[in-house]
Each structure stands twice: as structure tokens, then as C-alpha cells.
Amino acid sequence: MSTIAVIASFGEEDQCAQAVHELRTAELGELQTFSPFPSHKIQHSFARPKSRARWATFTGGVTGVLTGLAITIGTSWEWNLNVGGKPVVSWPPFIVICFELMILLGGIFGLLGFFAFSGVPALEPAFGYSERFGSDLFGLVVRCDEPKASRIEAMLREAGAQEVSREIINQERVVADA
Amino acid sequence: MSVEAKTAEARGRGVADIIYTPVAVVGVKTTVVGVILAVLGLIGFAAGLARGEALTVWGGYLVNLLFFLSVAQGAVMVSVSYYLAQGRWAGTTQFRLAEAYAPFLWVGLVLFFGLYFGRAVIFPWVLHPIAQKAAWLNTPFLFARDGVMLFIMALLSSIFVRLSRGEAARAWILSPNDIEFPPSPIRRITPVLGILYCFFYSFLAVDLVMSLAPLWRSTLFGWYFFAGAYWSGIVTMTFTAVILRSQLKAGNVFTRPKVFHDLGKYVFAFSIFWVYLLFAQYIVIWYGDIPVETFFLVQRVHHMPWSPLSIACAFLIFLIPFLVLMSVRTKEIPSILGLVSLLGIIGMWLERYVLVEPSLSLDAIPFGLTQLLITLGFLGAFILCSIPGLNRVATAATAGEPIGEDE
């Protein structure tokens, strides 16, 4: 059985989001959208679980705090720093270092996590992309098995798609894109 | 465009077609409770004085005056900052909520002059003037300047609240998709109020808190004080919202998760701001280690019985809101948000208590029946002042208005 890509274009953000919602509920295929601007509505319609990038940020933050503690406490002990008769390890000024390192490493890890998990940068346009999806249309690509294609096309038209086309894609390509 | 034209335009879009049926959820029962509490307060006040507990009475009086003034003014400033930041996302309900406590400002002004009769008890510089500071710390000047400041704030706040409740402002709030400034009278008064608030509440902090320990100084103290006041307004609003949610008919604004999410974010953010200022102040004093600066902190952080209370403040105002409200889900659960904000209210009251009382009574916590009754009395007066405003909140909350676009 060959795999089909049904490509639909929408003039309205709401229609596209609605179509995503319906197809997702019906579990008819694998969906991908293109939008000329970042759309929260379409994003919400996918109802995806939260990104794993947040764990990268968290790890970075914790690493930062621990690094800060290691640097401040470690150097204070190593050099036996006595500042104005205060205890060698006094926490109030260390908070500042730990806080700053938490922000710094949390930010850097978060950024790296974002690149690692989002697939950005994508050097070649994704399958089904058309230049109009970058200017005035919303695109929706549905990958599915051939028998389901006509039902999907009907649903897309009903949701308000301007154009619906069908392309046969080979199996290898799907794996590479996924 | 004239006010009428703007209103008509808003009507045309359908946002001002909402029918406002006055809702009086907060009525007789609350009034009775308020009156009883206020009377109890008077009794506690009189009995305390009659039993010769002047220091306890006036200490409690000052703490509560500072706290409830902070809440009333802080909440008005929340509304002011909505306008300054063009924050129409909240719909009218949150503006009404922030303005509900404003009438207490007038009561607070009158009660402030009550301090005149207790001045010799609580202000050490009245009986033992400090020569270098006498030009600033003397009775006539202090009561004159603080009285004028509180009067100006009460007056401007009342004018502002009146403007904000007007047709034009409401039409502006309800048309969040227009890129347009608020009505021009509001545009003029809000920056003035914002700047005066920072100045005047800094002065009040210096005059009514710092001068209780007249040798102490911290240049950041005023800022810290009014930022705390702002936060106490936010938590009181949030707690009120949670209470009203269950009191009003089904489908009111407070049943929408977005509203609590917004309030929760506000509580979370300004709790961090409070601790930031606290720490900024603490670390400078800690590093400098100059006795004239450190004694104020030592009395509160290291000295019994005050040490646990100070630490409790850090938990109630910062740690609990920070850890609990970090997630979106907990912000949207009314019982959790309500509990955190109630603890926040208690924490802010305790914070004002810990700022004031150790200067008056270093070795014992003077809290007893007298101070409890005085606190209840202030609470009663505060509730009585808030009733008309809360009914406005209730009306706005049940009118079925749109509140911002992404829900």
C-alpha cells in the first residue's frame, strides 16, 4: 500500500485549526501545518504534550546553581577567605553568583534544547511546502494510507480548504521527514 | 473623537450592549459583620487604653493602619498600572476589583490623625528629640506632611476611580482589539498617581516605620515598603476573587480559568519582586556590617521572639507563592490560589507587624486580645468601605463580558 500526502491550503487560520482538530480527533493520519505567522490557535489544535526542551532548561538551571555553589564555596575554602570577620562560607553573597549562573546556564541549555528537539534549522523545505504558505495561505499536509485519502479530502473541503491536492510519496521519504 | 462617539462606536461593535444588572451579593449580612467587627475594634481600643496598655494599643493601631492603607492604595495602583500598561486583557472585572477598596483611603486618612494622640507612646523622638534630625522628625511637620500626602492620594485615587468607572473608560477596556490610548483624563492622572504613590509611600515608610527606630536608615526601605503594599493589594484582590467565585451565580467571570491564571501570574511575579527588594536591602547591610544599619535586622532576624516571625514572612510572601504557583495548573485551581493569597495576606500583615513592633517592644510579642480586637476593628472598617465596590465587581463579573481574546 502506498502512502499518500494530501495537501490542503486554507485562507483562514480558524479553518486550518478546525481541520487539524477534526483530523486529529478522527485519527486519520500524520499532520503537519505551515503558517505564514506563528499561530497559537493551530498550535493549540494539535494539543501536543509540552516540549522536552523545558527539561533542558531545568537541567541547565540546576547545573548553574550547583556550579555557583561549587565555585563560591570551593574558592572560599581553598583560599580560606576571611572577609570582614564573617564566616568563611557565608551564603548571602553566594546567592547572587548562584542566581546568575542559574539564569546563564538555564538559558544556554534551553537554547540548545530548543535546537535539539525542534529540528531547527531545517535546511531543505519540508515536504508539501509551497511559497504561498509563507505569505498568505495556511498549509496542511496529511500523510495517510491510500484508502483513507478520499475521506480526508472530503473533510478538508468541508473545513473550508481552498485547494486540495494529492501526492504519492515513497516510504523512505516519510521516514526521513519524520 | 468625543466620548459619546467612542461609546457609540463601542456599542456598534456590541461590547457595550452588555446589560449591567446591579448585583448586590455583598449586602446586609456583610454589613452586619463589618459593623460588629468595627465595634469590637472600638471596644478593644478603649479597653486597652483603659487598662493602661497604651504601647500595645498604639502599636497595633499603627500596624493595622499601615496594612489596610497599603491594601487599599496598593489595589488602586494595580488598576493604575493596568491603564499605564494598556492592560485591557482583564476585562472590566479586574479593574473594578482593584478599585473596590478605595473608599478606605478616606477612613485611613482620618485614622492617621488618630495617631496624633498616641505619638508620645510610639515615636521615641517625640519625648527625646534627636538634634540632627529634629528638623524632619517633629510632630507638627510629620503630621502636616503625611496628612497632606494621604489626602492627595485619597483625593486623586477617588477621582481616578470615578473616571475609571465612567462610560468612556469602560468602552475603552472592552475594545481590546483597537490600538488606542485610554481616555485622556485617565491618561493624565495615571502617571501622576504612579509617581506620587512611589514618593509618598516612601515618605510614609520613613516617617511611620523607620522613625520608630530613628537611628536606623536604609535608602531602599521606601521602595521595599510600597512594593510590598502593591503586592498586598494584589493578594487581597485574588482572595476576594476566589470568594466571589462561589458567591456569584454560575458562569461569572471568576469561573473562567484564564482569570485565575492571570491573577496567579500577578501574585507570583510581584512576590518575586518583593523578595528581590528584601534581598537587595539585606545584602548591602550585611556586607557593610555597620552597627547603625545592622541593628534593625539583627533585632528582627536573630533576636527572639521575632526571628521565627521574620522567617515566616519570607515563607508566606515568597517561598510558598513561588513554589506553589510555578505551574499553570495550580494557578487555575481556586482553592489553591485562594489559600496562597490568604497566606499572602497574613504574611503581609505579619511583615508590617515585624517592621513596626520590635522597635516598640523588643523582647516580647505584644499580640493579645487587645491587638486582636483592634485588628478585627480595622478589618470591619475595611469591609464596610469595600461593600459598594464589591457590588460593582459582582455586577461586572456576572455581565458576561468578553475578557481578552485568547481563552
* pLDDT of B203 over the 80 cut: yes
Cis omega (within 30 of 0) for bond into B305: yes
Residue B246: the pLDDT is 87
Q: Select from A48, A134, A61, A41 the least CA-distant residue to A102.
A: A61
Specify whether the CB–CB gap between A40 and B406 falls below 8 A. Answer: yes
pLDDT grade, residue B18 (50/70/90)? low
Report CB contact under 8 Å: A86, B406. no
What percent of chain B shows pLDDT beyond 90?
68
Instruction: Report the b/e string of A48-61 with b at 16+ CB within 10 A.
Output: eeeeebeebbeebb
Query: At residue A31, what are phi and psi to the nearest 5 degrees?
Result: -110, 145
**pLDDT tens, residue by residue, B315-359:** 999 999 999 999 999 999 999 999 999 999 999 999 999 999 999
Fold that domain A3-49+129-177 belongs to in CATH: Alpha-Beta Plaits (3.30.70)
Closest CA in chain A for residue B276 = A96
Q: Say how many C-beta atoms besides its own lie within 10 A of residue B84's C-beta.
A: 16
Cis omega (within 30 of 0) for bond into A121: yes
Rounded to whole angstroms, the Cα distance separating B48 from B46 reads 5
Point out which residues pair with A166 in neighbouring strands: A6
Specify whether the CB–CB gap between B105 and B72 falls below 8 A. Answer: yes
Half-sphere exposure of B53 (CA within 13 A, CB side): 19
Selecting from A40, A84, A92 the residue whose C-beta is nearest the C-beta of B283 gives A92
**pLDDT tens, residue by residue, B230-255:** 999 999 999 999 999 988 887 888 88
Rounded to whole angstroms, the Cα distance separating B132 from A81 reads 39
Contact B276/A at CB under 8 A: no
**pLDDT tens, residue by residue, B272-287:** 999 999 999 999 999 8
Contacts of B279 in chain A (CB under 8 A): 95
Q: Is B148 exposed, middle or buried (0-12, 13-18, 19+ CB in 10 A)?
A: exposed
Q: Which amino acid is at A143?
A: R
Contact B117/A at CB under 8 A: no
> pLDDT higher for B103 or B15?
B103
Which residues does A contribute to its contact with B (CB < 8 Å)? 40, 84, 86, 92-93, 95-96
C-alpha B273 chain-centroid distance = 15
pLDDT grade, residue A24 (50/70/90)? confident
Rounded to whole angstroms, the Cα distance separating B399 from B407 reads 17
- B273's enclosing H/E stretch is helix B257-288
End-to-end CA distance of chain B: 31
**pLDDT tens, residue by residue, B351-406:** 999 999 999 998 988 899 999 999 999 999 999 999 999 988 888 888 877 665 54
Half-sphere exposure of B46 (CA within 13 A, CB side): 6
- Mean pLDDT across the stretch B260-264? 93
What's the gap in Å between the CA of A135 and the closest CA on chain B?
23
Q: Which amino acid is at A31?
A: L
CA distance readout (Å), B170 to A132, A161, B165, B407:
41, 39, 7, 21
Contacts of A84 in chain B (CB under 8 A): 287, 289
**pLDDT tens, residue by residue, B297-314:** 999 999 889 999 999 999
Query: Which segment of A74-88, A95-109, A158-172, B160-174 scores lowest on mean pLDDT?
Result: A158-172
pLDDT grade, residue B11 (50/70/90)? very low
Point out which residues pair with A7 in neighbouring strands: A141, A165
* Domain edges within chain A: 3-49+129-177, 53-118
For B252, the grid coordinates are 461569572
Rounded to whole angstroms, the Cα distance separating B319 from B59 reads 28
Closest CA in chain A for residue B288 = A84
Contact B287/A at CB under 8 A: yes
- Sign, CA dihedral B353-B354-B357-B363, equals positive
CA distance readout (Å), B369 to A5, A115, A168:
77, 62, 83
ipTM exceeds 0.85: no
Residue A169: the pLDDT is 76
Contact B406/A at CB under 8 A: yes
* pLDDT of B179 over the 90 cut: no
For B263, the grid coordinates are 491573577
What's the gap in Å between the CA of A107 and the closest CA on chain B?
18
Selecting from A84, A95, A96 the residue whose C-beta is nearest the C-beta of B289 gives A84
Mean pLDDT of chain B: 89
Contacts of B286 in chain A (CB under 8 A): 92
- Mean pLDDT across the stretch B52-78? 95
Rounded to whole angstroms, the Cα distance separating B390 from B100 reads 6
B326 DSSP 8-state letter:
T
3-state helix, strand, coil in chain A (%, to 5): 55, 15, 30
Query: At residue A164, what are phi and psi to the nearest 5 degrees?
Result: -130, 125
Test the A interface: residue of B279, B284, B285, B294 with most A CBs within 10 Å: B279
* pLDDT of B407 over the 60 cut: no
Contacts of A86 in chain B (CB under 8 A): 289
Largest CA distance in chain B: 67
- Sign, CA dihedral B61-B67-B73-B79, equals negative
Rounded to whole angstroms, the Cα distance separating B231 from B122 reads 26
Q: Select from B387, B328, B322, B361 the least CA-distant residue to B121.
A: B361
Contact B405/A at CB under 8 A: no
Rounded to whole angstroms, the Cα distance separating A17 from A164 reads 16
SS3 call for B237:
helix
Rounded to whole angstroms, the Cα distance separating B330 from B340 reads 10
Chains A, B: CB contacts under 8 A, how many? 13
pLDDT grade, residue B12 (50/70/90)? very low
- A140's enclosing H/E stretch is strand A138-145
Q: Say how many C-beta atoms besides its own lie within 10 A of residue A174's C-beta.
A: 14
Rounded to whole angstroms, the Cα distance separating B118 from A123 reads 76
For B108, the grid coordinates are 485611613
Residue B403: the pLDDT is 66
